[in-house]
Structure 1
């Protein structure tokens, strides 16, 4: 298979210390994912000889831009008990589920590159593919690392609905049960319509967004300006937008987006996508932190 993208590590390239945190020394998919979501890496498009500096720190909530990229940038994302040697040791030992994490890495690179190129609809497609791909595996990976069998079994039972209603619902219950006490879970996400470049579309897209969000998750809103929704509600919105935009079954035609409603799809997804990458990155980082603590 021809690889279009390669990862370039801008951190301490001539320093041999802590080599397992360096992507060029340690070709580990889980390391690459961490460096991608923390905004501490560069990506080279080998076809066009173009380098993208990835500086959006999506581990922070909301996303922050990294002004400096070094070991401290990465270390500051963890609590004070984690040292740089711990990270080095973790990424040396974190070798399980390699094929699974490799598939996430590939999709994540394409998602981020499409976002950087302002191809927001394309970016959304890759974002959703990642969510769909991890919806069953991530909860199982998480609970498999727990010490208490009874707690693990109970958690697994709670994630399955009585109607066994699919992997995305399974993943939703995992998020709800596992992270409900975390600060990020109790935080809100604001869809800013000022990001839409075409003024005439703001009112139309405001209504389209609002129609696809369950009212109970709407925290605040100002017409044609912004919609603030809860963290778990944003997950539901991502699923709903995918279903309504990419499905076109005739029996549900009235529920789906008409092409005349989304004259400029990239403008529609523009206010959505970075929040979506941020949402996904937070969950992936929680898995990495949990795994790190188990190895430590």
Structure 2
């Protein structure tokens, strides 16, 4: 059945096989017009949904998993494998309870994110990659303040919440400085902080490959480039600096300013080729941060639920 809200530009429907659906809790299925936006986003980013642009009737079977760097989907084992990204022993049943608990929380925020991401996939399907990038950046702007606030609010320790907000509010210069501080905080003790995101430069000819690598490399400050970069095949950006790279591309192409090193359209045969090389890894990066917040909140919800159940058992 299709998830369809009359004033929303996209509708969503199941793509999983009946055998898989038979194992999935009801609250994780796409059943109709009132599916939680947070569920649709999770299914969309994990490659387990079909979406349709209602005006053009373009239908997209989204099977790429943006929570993994290789985009490998779960096929018919979504219910088994996706919950493991939240926690080693986390189950689909636990995820269903968390999703249901979020059904009416921050709906406007999740609705906006769902729309931006859906337009990204729509324009990617049309191979209009520069247009897709616009919606990718819009999604980043939506989450840059909302996700940190959602992250720190999901706790029963008000002092901890206050302290977390105070650390994030320390003045940070530059665009999305608040979000950059948040990423540094979330991954403070995580090995992913030391990792990189690899942008593969794969084009038809060696000259095209060299020119595109040089263009993208030239946009980067030396401090954001990771050691795993392979000239001219792969540009590796430090994980915590990917947002800086994304913003730089936005500014150098869409915000043409005299006096800065702009991306000159006269030097590129097809601008969509440039964005085709960066967009998917940008969305992977955004998705991993979204997953970190969802995972944190899901585990917090599970812990609180367990504590409440234990207290009720003691009073009985």
The two structures share one fold, judged by TM-score above 0.5: yes
SS of the residue 1:224 aligns to: coil
The offset of 1:12, in angstroms, is 5.8
Question: How many residue pairs were aligned?
Answer: 292
Structure 2 length normalisation: TM-score?
0.84
Query: In the alignment, is the contact (CA less than 8 A) between 1:213 and 1:233 conserved in 2?
Result: no
Query: In the alignment, is the contact (CA less than 8 A) between 1:135 and 1:168 conserved in 2?
Result: yes
- Work out the CA distance in 2 between the residues paired with 1:75 and 1:144: 22
Structure 1 length normalisation: TM-score?
0.89
Q: How does 1:26-65 map to 2 (within 5 A)?
A: 26-65=34-73
Q: Which runs of 5+ in 2 are unaligned?
A: 1-5, 303-316
Divergent runs of 4+, >4 A? 12-17
1:264 to 262, 267, 270: 270
Q: Which runs of 5+ in 1 are unaligned?
A: none
Higher alpha-carbon Rg:
2
Residues 174-232 of structure 1: CA distance to partner in whole angstroms, max 9, x if unpaired?
001111322333221112111x3465432222122112222122223333222222111
Q: How does 1:182-201 map to 2 (within 5 A)?
A: 182-194=190-202, 196-197=203-204, 199-201=206-208
- Work out the CA distance in 2 between the residues paired with 1:289 and 1:223: 36
The offset of 1:67, in angstroms, is 3.5
CA RMSD in angstroms comes to 2.3
Say which is worse superposed, 236-245 or 51-60, in terms of deviation.
Answer: 51-60
Query: In the alignment, is the contact (CA less than 8 A) between 1:11 and 1:69 conserved in 2?
Result: no
- Work out the CA distance in 2 between the residues paired with 1:2 and 1:98: 15
Query: In the alignment, is the contact (CA less than 8 A) between 2:63 and 2:73 conserved in 1?
Result: yes
The offset of 1:245, in angstroms, is 0.9
The offset of 1:161, in angstroms, is 3.6
- Work out the CA distance in 1 between the residues paired with 2:188 and 2:127: 33
Say which is worse superposed, 151-160 or 278-287, in terms of deviation.
Answer: 151-160
- Work out the CA distance in 2 between the residues paired with 1:289 and 1:215: 32
Counterpart for residue 10 of structure 2: 5
Matched, 1:139 2:148: yes
